[in-house]
A and B are shown apart, each in its own frame.
Chain A
Amino acid sequence: MSFLLAAAATTGAPASTGFHFTPALGMFLTFVLITLGITYWSARKSTGASNYFAAGRGITAWQNGLAVAGDYMSAASFLGIAGMIAFKGYDGFMYSVGWLVAYLTVLLVVAEPLRNAGKYTMADVLAYRLSPRPVRAMASLSTLTVSTFYMIAQMVGAGALVKLLLPGIGYEWAVTGVGVLMIVYVVFGGMLATTWVQIIKAVLLMSGSLFLSVLVLRHFDYSFVKFFEAVGKVPVAGPDGTIVHKDFLKPGLIFGLEVTKGWGPIDLISLGLALVFGTAGLPHVLVRFYTVPDAKTARISVVWAMIIIGAFYIMTTLLGFGAATILTPGKISVENMSAPLLAQALGGEIFFAFISAVAFATILAVVAGLTISASTSFAHDFYTNVLHHGRERAPGEEVRVARIAAFVVGAVAIFLAIKLQTINVAFLVGLAFAVAASANLPVIVLSLFWKRFNTAGAVWGLGVGLVGSIVLIILSPSVMDANGKALINAAPLFPLKNPGIVSIPLGFLAAWIATLMSNDHTSEAKFAELTVRANTGLGAEKATAH
């Protein structure tokens, strides 16, 4: 890294020329070079559909655990939650809990049956007993919706982040750069390159957070008692400029009854439902279980991911409370900058640069995962199985279509992210989870566990879950605001920011009613087969020999 420092030192900091070389930029470029090297290596290795879509099913448990964690922990988790705790204290910590607990649904309910009975996408499991074409078409639509929403939120975040961390690089350039990189990883390197980008990101993120946590503890002489004493009286600038001391362990700054006009934590409960049911329906998380050799490895990889994700969120507490207690009041003006500024205060410029580079790596790994899951679903579900009845017209066609789809998805995401620059799109993350929880999860669960479930139920469940979540979000305070602070300038018609508490029951209800309204019983014939496959692994997709 020394040549970068030298470069940074000699370049200095020209005051107003805009672009200049900083340690943060240097570290980010190093990450880009390493990941491009991995992409080159993967591109030479990835031939054939199972290699391209599922990394040859040869990823080991710990590797997949890291990759799942890398796929899942977005910049919103890293910078957002740390910032939330730094500004609002305890409620930010309470907010972070659901992101880990949600993995128990993945572990107990979906990971193993999905690996045993599917091939590349969640729709494989649905298509087993149900009429494949309508079900795959709807599942693909839902997957593309979830991935695109989530991706736009990430890309807009990336652009905003660059403005803060690398002054001199414009928003458009940042978004385009992130978009082009993710397209290169996915189009040329396929699932193998994407997996390794996620693994490296997870290692960087964990080591950065761990080091920063240790620095925070060192500041308090490694004493948790001293640390929590400081958290108990955080100096905060009051409205009249005087310093008041606040107990940051006291709940209520975000979800308290008076803050939420009597709704209390209902919004958090609604989000919690979307997390607990939605994580197990997120297409970019689910595709990861097809990259391992068997269901047992899938299971162990979820536990690895849980250890990593849990440790990360616990460390986030230290970072958030650390920023609140160590940085003087008023020093952080933007919530998302809490962790990087804390790194700067405790570890100097180089550590600030490292944490900034980690934030970029985080975004890149997540958007690459989203791109590959969207393009896999388009090529495998929609193109091959809906348009061409499950027959490839030429060898390698499915992979070729996926590559084109990845390119198109990436280009659309870049375009939309640039167009939506000025709009607060954080709610799109909540929407992605709500759709995953209200559309995807109900049909996965019912198809695995309810014999009577049929095609009508799946199509209606997916449709109502998808449309219901989107409509409720549009009517919510995230999109409608009477003071003109959101997209629509009117009073919200739905009081909660997170629609899960209504849309998830709607999704289940629609699937249940539509099933019973239909006289289709053909799906029952294959229930025994799906149950046996899902629970024994008989006939499951094997790893390709390397």
Chain B
Amino acid sequence: MPEDPNPDRDLTPEVSAETDVARLGHTSPPPAHEQTADEDADVVDWDRVAAMEQFKALLKAKIAFIVPATLFFVVYYFALPVLVGWFPELMEKRIGPVNLAYVFALSQFFMAWAVAFVYLRKAAKFDEEARQIIARLDQPKGAKPE
């Protein structure tokens, strides 16, 4: 970012800049986020997208990954206090210089990283699907009445 050429300028933001919550005078349309469904219904036909086979398939694929992955990590994580708390004899078994309890606790970190990396790879595919869905829409992304 270069030095501000005019540091003494008026620091109030531009009226009706894209990031403003509302413009002065309330006459022009509010930015996308503050619009009601009726106001921005013409931007994208949301119901049409929601009904697209490709979009439904994307949602299904996402849920098919996220739900089992969440169940897996929750079970794996809570197995730690449960096993350590109620099955101490099992968890105190020696493994080399340490015990099973330590190995299992340490493995939680690698489990979390592994789930995260698998998700990153999956999500790249989801991104590609979403990009194709957007490309198929008549009105391209970002076309807003502004």
Question: What is A's interface to B at a CB cutoff of 8 Å?
Answer: 44-45, 47-51, 90, 93-94, 97-98, 100-101, 103-105, 107-109, 112, 118-119, 124, 224-225, 227-229, 232, 249-252, 255-257, 264-266, 268-269, 272, 276, 296, 299-300, 302-303, 306-307, 310, 313-314, 380, 384, 390-392, 394-396, 398-399, 525-526, 528-529, 531-533, 535-539, 541-542, 544, 546
Contacts and interface: CB of A to CB of B under 8 A. Distances in A.
Interface string B35-71: 0010010011011011000010011001000100110
Given A100-B108, A537-B130, A310 B113 contact: yes
Nearest to A44: B4
B134 A257 contact: no
Contacts of B49: 528, 532, 536, 538
B84 A265 contact: yes
Interface string B6-25: 01000111110111111010
Contacts, number: 204
Interface in B127-144: 127, 130, 133-134, 141-142, 144
B43 A108 contact: no
A395 B85 contact: no
A531 B86 CA distance: 42
Contacts of A390: 21-22, 30, 34
B1 A532 contact: no
B116 A529 contact: no
A228 B98 contact: yes
Contact of B78 (A224, A225, A269, A539): A269
Count chain A CB atoms within 10 A of each CB in B81, B102, B130, B133 and give the residue with the most. B81
How many chain B residues sit at the interface, stated as a range, is: 35 or more
Contacts of B70: 104-105, 108-109
Given A535-B130, A539-B44, A546-B1, A303 B69 contact: no
Contact of A264 (B86, B113, B116, B134): B86
B50 A531 contact: yes
Nearest to A271: B81
B46 A528 contact: yes
A4 to B, nearest CB: 30
Given A395-B20, A532-B49, A306 B91 contact: no
A251 B91 contact: yes
A503 B28 CA distance: 45
Given A49-B13, A109-B66, A310-B109, 4 more contacts: A225-B97, A314-B109, A391-B21, A528-B49
25 contacts: A90-B101, A93-B105, A97-B77, A98-B77, A100-B109, A101-B73, A103-B112, A107-B119, A108-B115, A227-B97, A249-B99, A249-B101, A251-B92, A268-B85, A272-B77, A299-B120, A384-B21, A390-B22, A391-B26, A395-B12, A395-B13, A528-B47, A529-B46, A535-B58, A544-B18
A285 B55 CA distance: 29
B24 A395 contact: yes
A301 to B, nearest CB: 12
Interface of B: 1, 4, 7, 11-15, 17-22, 24, 26, 30, 32-34, 37, 40, 43-44, 46-47, 49-50, 55, 58-59, 62, 66, 69-70, 73-74, 77-78, 80-82, 84-86, 88, 91-92, 96-99, 101-102, 105-106, 108-109, 111-113, 115-117, 119-120, 123, 126-127, 130, 133-134, 141-142, 144
Contact of A303 (B12, B80, B116): B116
A225 B40 CA distance: 65
Give the secondary structure class of A's interface.
helix
A529 B77 contact: no
Q: Is the interface of B mostly helix, strand, loop or mixed?
A: helix
Most chain B beta-carbon contacts within 10 A, residue among A108, A228, A276: A108
Contacts of B73: 101, 104
Contacts of B17: 48
A541 B141 CA distance: 12
Contacts of A532: 44, 46, 49-50, 55
Contacts of A380: 21
B113 A249 contact: no
A269 B82 contact: yes
Contact of A48 (B19, B86, B112, B130): B19
Contacts of A229: 97
Contacts of A51: 19
B26 to A, nearest CB: 6
A541 B18 CA distance: 9
B11 A264 contact: no
A225 B94 CA distance: 13
B82 A265 contact: yes
Contacts of A49: 13, 19-21
B115 A104 contact: yes
B95 to A, nearest CB: 10
Contacts of A384: 21
